[in-house]
Chains A and B, each alone.
Chain A
């Protein structure tokens, strides 16, 4: 049996599992016991922090007998972090709320001195005004970023999903680097607003407007555009398609059976056992259904990948999308990760079902070694991996935004050098 930590079977399921393990002798019985085989993707150390994404993120599949669509349909399983702290999304928190903290800390770096009459004294003594404003902004934002990184790294240890291994350390380091870059963007924006001869309220309003555009307006427009052009595939579509195929195939059951007989002339039917013929007819039919659904499933995965590709390109529009992309990569909760895991599961599902076919065709009972040889997804699954292209594009986006704000701040410093 495939068992993994984190999946809790109900007492009834455990009972059934035990009974099957102890007494199953029929390959068909094993094959159609949907719900007792699982494909599991172990949670990445940061997966718990991307609840906004992973709320929809299937980290396991329940193999549903012969149905591919039901197998790759998402199974709702409460995220451990979501279960313990309620609706919480660190990616959103960092992306949307942390910039507000940065704005609060930096909006009056220069304006407070201006408004409290110290500006003349500060300007007369600071060896370089730009350097002073830059260091004030970066010290404040740097302290904040460091605090968030330390708290996040610590929480990886505390959370139920957390585990410290080399991959986790690497992910946390990359996550920290991207968080620093995202914070650096906000610090540079704060420097730009402080380079302008604005009052504290003026600088604050400018930063809040930038926050609204970066965090709310542009991502909302992007989402609307992408929902129109690259609509998210729905599980129900796949299930409905499979039901249609099943219905259609059942109407063609005789043709399918004839074709099967042609392909397997070696099978001798026992005229005294109508169950054997029925069993083989079912097997032939489900083979045809699987083949037709496979094509549709691949198209279904392709739509996710297309959507992710478009999202990757659009992350250049706002640093928030760049940050979310990087966070999803580190947490292993991007659509690309979802598709990879679903594809692995689908391939396993095929293999799992096909392992029973020879036994069914032979008409023999399962032996202990047969049960032990049932394919186990756990034994072969791949770890979540980082996808470099979206991560690099995210870095390019953040670097571009930082550079743009930096150049504008430099220009403003030069233009307002005497103010």
Chain B
């Protein structure tokens, strides 16, 4: 579903990503770990077509986002590190607006409410303005957006940073559920604990190179921490 082939991104002063090869199948939750500047966010931006690769290619369901931007966008959901919504709109109105941006404009209010509830947003918060929401609640609005659009790939850039343990736990559960529903998930994170809890496979990046990948269940929390710290040296 999500595929990177010899993907390289070079800037004038440095190379952010070197020859990344990656394949994430449907139903797989892949976590990218690594120090700041290792190339995790660059990888996500390349999949989202926010930046163009220097060499190599990205494929989403077999399509290149550079040549098929609209089709690939319709397959992907995205949750940034800082989820900023329209503060004067309610959670429901934000969901309705972003869904309409993605072409889902004929959704009834009841359906929107159901999906927000499914994403874990408390019912009392649905009609409240978003400026009163916590980060976790804002994330749930964006998860609801992915649910309502029935995306086939989900890209997350450090989604659990700033979440309290309860919210992070709930978030991991939602990710696992999305994986079970066949969504291919690519998540960049520093959160080793939740990376192991929610993912099926983990990759560690160092200075733009994917140095190793392994199944999440193959390693203990301690070993994962050890490997991640090793990559940062």
Residues in A lying within 8 Å of B, measured CB to CB: 116-118, 120-128, 132, 418
Complex contact A117–B102 (CB within 8 A): no
Contact of A116 among B76, B84, B98 (CB under 8 A): B84
Rounded to whole angstroms, the CA-CA distance of A128 and B70 in the bound complex is 7
Indicate whether B124 reaches chain A with its CB closer than 8 angstroms: no
The segment from B49-57, B106-114, B186-194 that touches chain A is B49-57
Asked whether any CB of chain A lies closer than 8 Å to the CB of B125, the reply is no
Among B73, B84, B103, contact of A121 (Cβ-Cβ < 8 Å) = B84
| Top 4 A-B residue pairs of the complex, sorted by shortest distance between their CB atoms | A117-B84, A124-B78, A126-B101, A125-B102
B175 CB to nearest A CB, Å: 17
- B58-82 vs A, CB cutoff 8 Å, 1 = contact: the mask equals 0000000000011001101110101
- B: interface residue count bin: 20 to 34
Judge whether B24 is part of the interface by a CB distance below 8 angstroms. Answer: no
Closest to A418 in B: B51
Neighbouring B residues of A125 by C-beta, 8 Å: 73, 78, 98, 101-102, 145
Whether B29 is near chain A, meaning CB under 8 Å from some CB there, is no
B33 part of interface (Cβ distance < 8 Å): no
Residues of A within 8 A of B73 (CB): 124-127
For the complex with contacts A120-B78, A123-B48, A127-B102, 20 further pairs of A-B residues with Cβ separation under 8 Å are A117-B84, A118-B85, A118-B86, A120-B48, A120-B50, A121-B83, A121-B84, A121-B98, A124-B76, A124-B77, A125-B73, A125-B78, A125-B98, A125-B101, A126-B101, A127-B74, A128-B70, A132-B101, A418-B51, A418-B52
Q: What CA separation (Å) do A228 and B73 show in the bound complex? A: 59
Which of B77, B80, B84 has the most chain A CB atoms closer than 10 A to its own CB? B84
Distance of B122 from chain A, by nearest CB (Å): 22
Q: Is the CB of B50 within 8 A of A121?
A: no
Task: Say whether A127 contacts B86, CB under 8 Å.
Answer: no
Shortest Cβ distance from B115 into chain A, in angstroms?
15
Question: B142 an interface residue at 8 Å Cβ cutoff?
Answer: yes
B50 touches A123 (CB 8 A): yes
Q: Which residues of A contact B142 (CB under 8 A)?
A: 121
Cα separation A385 to B56 with both chains bound (whole Å): 66
Give Cα distance in the complex from A74 to B49, angstroms. Answer: 67
Which of A121, A126, A127, A418 has most chain B Cβ within 10 Å? Answer: A121
Q: Is the CB of B83 within 8 A of A124?
A: no
The reply to whether B82 and A117 form a contact with Cβ atoms under 8 Å apart is: yes
Question: For A120, what are the chain B residues with a Cβ–Cβ distance below 8 Å?
Answer: 48, 50, 78, 80
> Given the complex, which residues of B lie within 8 Å of A123, measured CB to CB?
48, 50
Query: Residues of B contacting A418 with CB < 8 Å?
Result: 49-52
| CA distance in complex: A124, B50 (Å) | 8
- When distances are taken between beta carbons in the complex, the residues of chain B under 8 Å from A122 are 98, 101
Q: A118 touching B84 by the CB < 8 A rule? A: yes
